[in-house]
A and B are shown apart, each in its own frame.
Chain A
Amino acid sequence: MRIDCPNCGERDRREFYYQGDAVVLNRPSEDAGAQAWDDYLHNRANPAGETRDLWFHEGGCRAWLVVERNTMTHAVHAATLAEKVKR
């Protein structure tokens, strides 16, 4: 598995740390309530197919990336800087 980092180009999966579903970018406000925090921390769509998740280019530029990937085939389609996705 290789990920095409926008800063560094295509790199081996070993250089990256996996965080989980990109839902973790949408941190709820402090007073959003128990359900919103439960959804943020625990509950997942967990798709069998296309997914968006968050990876850290630990062994490279150290940027956080949103990676579009297929969980059935392990094919990686795109990687975007998380700071661009957030805005």
Chain B
Amino acid sequence: MKKLRMAIFDFACCEGCQLQIVNMEEGLLDLLDIVEPVEWREAISDQSEEYDLAFVEGSITREEDEQRLKDIRQRARILVALGACAVNGGVNRLKNAPDMDEVRRCVYGNSATMPHLATAPTKAVGEVVKVDFEVRGCPMSRREFTYIVRCLAAATTPVVPTYPVCVECKLRETVCRYEFNEVCLGVVTRAGCNAPCPAGGQWCYGCRGLVDDPNVNGAKDIMDKYGKTVADLRSRMELFNSVEARQCQGQ
């Protein structure tokens, strides 16, 4: 079988998803049997003109980056959005405010009007170009990444869970964070990560995005049972799902 020519690109983000690829250690060497990295600035000093498989990490926040992304799309047979920043804008969306000049001033003070500091509201990769597949999470899971790459190499369609994180969390027999009087988004967040955050002693903050049809009423029952309000849920939901958080304003 011919190896897939793979490239990895990053836009505004923490590069933590790329790091998960490095963190596969020997698993990465196994993956090199089916893919050949031809462009990956962080790890190798090569560049290429075309790719079978382009992974794009990060959010799009500038005009010039939209151009760079469109160029990548043209060279790529399959384009995969890597991690929350690329899939839905991730935490970067928190900066989106009606007044972007004020956001610039907040960080750069009197220098804020210098042209190289220009910024636009954060976009996900899919808001600029067509995305063929997504690897969700912040950071993405190494297991899911490997699975998706293997599927693509075998020309099959990856299947990822659409049920909520609570399902995986209960299977692990983690004590529910609501028992600690904390607000957990596992009730409305897509599974697939195996619920590492509650198991590690924190709530789920929704980094994989919301389930397709979030059962806000189901969440509300839990809120009532533990004396929390949907408003508590909403402020935490803003971290990785600010668009949906605003939509559930009225409920």
Chains A and B bind each other: no
